[in-house]
Amino acid sequence: MKVAIVGVTGLVGQMMRRVLEERSFPVTELLAVASDKSVGKQVKFNGKDVTVIAPATAVEQRPDLVLFSAGGTTAQEWAPRFEATGAWVIDNSSAFRMDADCALVVPEINTSSIVGKRRIIANPNCSTIQMVMALYPLHQAFGIQRIVVSTYQSVSGTGANAIMQLHTERRSNCRIADNPAYPHRIDMNVLPHCDVFLDNDFTKEEMKLHHETRKILGSDSIMVNATAVRVPVSGGHSESINVRFEKPFEVAEVRSMLEEMPGVEVVDDPAHNQYPMPLDAEGKDTVFVGRIRKDFTQDNTLNLWVVADNLRKGAATNAVQIAQYLLEQGLLPAS
């Protein structure tokens, strides 16, 4: 199988290479694709050097599968060109997520949505993925009406420049002088600002949580009110979720359903200081759930704390899992 990774030198692109290796995905040839400034550089895959090429060169080589992590503008330009050659495209940007003709997929939840859609499959936003992983079994049982979520997102969600800004500020006790990722200091600080602000005063990141959750769970009646916050953590996103259901529930039922959900692990023993933390989630593909408790202020309402590695399950791992599903369904050539 010929596989291309577009954006191969970025944080998510690097993680895509690692996850493909870890999962022994049957890649017979890797096409390492990046912008013109990276063309000619070498990247490692399965212990071998691979030379970076431009998107146009990769299209000519007609890969079977293309993993995109190069931003929305690049995806909008190049994903349809790969699709036109017959390739399956899995895009990590927001370019195709709300396109009615493209499936928005979390493999544990809705692979059936791929049927009858384009060969461009959208990977959801990292914060959305971990939230719906925890809420999906509960929605099936009790029916979600409304979600209030506050995110605590690591700087790796912004990219390598943001990680550099955090570490530079921490070492030197001053804001990075050259091309900072954020408009304010991030070390020893918290920014209620992820992505750009929209006309409704919510950020694009916050509205992604609303729109994407409704599409993945297949319900336009679910309301999601989000506040997305950037915190001085290198990797791993955390979320405080308050969810109101149509039906009553017991915490024991919730815990049992979460323990049975593939890809989810319950870490919830406050008496012994056991609860999910980004430090423990980093490097893992699991979505961790804890602080499970009823909201005593209103009926049929639950509080959860959800943590996951945003570069893995929040991005690269979810994309590779989609590719594994395509392979299992005979939609990709097995080596």
Determine contact, residues 78/59, Cβ cutoff 8 Å: yes
> Which residue has 């980004």 as its token pair?
278
Which residues lie below 8 Å from residue 8, measured CB to CB, with a gap of 6+? 14, 16, 17, 32, 33, 34, 38, 43, 52
- CB crowding 272-295: b at 16 or more within 10 Å, else e: eeebbbbebbbebbbbbbbebebe
CA dihedral for 50, 120, 83, 27, sign (positive or negative): positive
Task: Provide the H-helix boundaries in 32-125.
Answer: 55-60, 72-84, 107-110
Handedness of CA 268, 273, 274, 280 (dihedral sign): positive
H-helix segments, 39-159: 55-60, 72-84, 107-110, 126-142
Q: Which two tokens stand for residue 151?
A: 């995110």
CA distance 201 to 13: 31
Residues belonging to the active site? 126, 237
Q: Is 236 helix (H, G, I), strand (E, B) or coil?
A: coil
Length of the chain: 335
Angstrom distances, CA of residue 88 to CA of 67, 70, 73, 217: 9, 16, 19, 23
